[in-house]
Structure 1
């Protein structure tokens, strides 16, 4: 796939402030989440994938296999049980926070763009983030 190994940088977002307000209901760090706009790189090695989030201050990597649950460290003190399912150029990650509900990040890749659709089981809205290669 033409997007593997490419670095995608943040371009714009839609309704993400409403999503941050929603997660602020159960996470005091939600406002900081609005400022978190890391570059993203997706790599593939056999049947494993590595999603790299890059900022000037910090890099974070998540390694997963399609459909296999894993423990996802969101930040210190906050972990979610996640499952990412790969379907062609679409990577759908569901983060399960137990009684707080789940958050879904649907990443749709093309050679020059990444579109991330954000939804939640406890929120009626939809947010989008767009990245360019």
Structure 2
């Protein structure tokens, strides 16, 4: 698991703007979102994992145990149930919400993090690519 503790920096996305429209983000916020290059790091601490995401001056830390659902509050105060499952170099996050589940599949390598985003009520697939 050589990817643990490694910082990955956002490089590019595919179809991510369509995903943001699907979840109801206003157009001005979508455009603003693409101006930033967040970083993300996955750390293992005992039986728990921590994903640290730095987006400008905002740092978000998410602590989880693989396969254990927990309540999470996202931007706008929306409370959702989230489950992360770690399987080798893949971390799959399933978010349950009233409009259907959304899945973020993070595939780590020594040089890249690829995030595949799908949603139950969407025919599309979005991708985000990060470089180590």
The answer to whether the Cα contact below 8 Å between 2:11 and 2:37 also exists between their aligned partners in 1 is no
Compared with structure 1, are the counterparts of its residues 16 and 31 closer, same or farther at alpha carbon in structure 2 (3 Å cutoff)? Answer: farther
**Hey, which of these two has a bigger chunk of strand by percent?**
1
* Structure 2, unaligned runs of 5 or more: none
4+ residue runs over 2 A deviation: 28-34
For residues 19-42 of structure 1, the C-alpha deviation after alignment (integer angstroms, 9 at most, x for no partner) is: 112111xxx557535606521000
Paired position in structure 2 for 1:105: 104
- Output the CA distance in 2 between the equivalents of 1:4 and 1:96: 26
What's the RMSD between the two structures over aligned residues? Answer: 1.6
Which residues in structure 2 correspond to 1:1-133 (within 5 Å)? Answer: 1-24=1-24, 28=25, 32=29, 35=33, 37-97=37-97, 99-133=98-132
* Structure 1, unaligned runs of 5 or more: none
Task: Number of aligned residue pairs: give it.
Answer: 129
Q: TM-score, normalised by structure 2?
A: 0.90
